[in-house]
Amino acid sequence: MSNVRELRPKPPETEKITINLGYVDLGHVDLMVQEGFYSNRTDFIRTAVRNQLERHADVVRQSTARKSLDLGLRNYTREDLEAVQRAGETLHINVLGLASISQDVTPELARATIASVSVLGALHASPAVKAALADRIR
């Protein structure tokens, strides 16, 4: 028996999306998988997305800087928001990646400290916090 316990569930590192492809494009993907170029459809699609992002890396870099976006994973804890509240300030959350608001953040604390939320990627927060910030999420 192990004494190791997970204190906080680890957030998923990926977000599931659904896409629609035409039959011919899907056939091409399946052919590439069948021929061994990719292990499965997901591997092909991830590779295609990464290639396109790399192709446009300069534009993404410039746009990220221009829009003052935090890049990657950004977690906002209850302690972070309480410190913002004590300072009499508010946050403008601008993230390209994953923005996460801790589960122990109350809707009242979120509304008092978060002026706006703009996330290109995914926002993880409790349903109550998302509802409290609904008019501030772009």
- At 111-138, the pLDDT tens digits run 999 999 999 999 999 999 999 999 999 9
CA-to-CA dists, residue 120 to 19, 34, 53, angstroms: 18, 34, 14
Q: Are 132 and 105 in contact (CB under 8 A)?
A: no
pTM of structure: 0.70
Amino acid letter, 49: V
Q: Give domain limits for the chain.
A: 23-55, 62-136
| pLDDT > 90: percent of the chain | 78
The continuous run of DSSP H or E covering 45 comes out as helix 41-55
CA geometry: angle 86, 91, 96, nearest 5 deg: 145
Partners of residue 137 on adjacent β-strands: 117
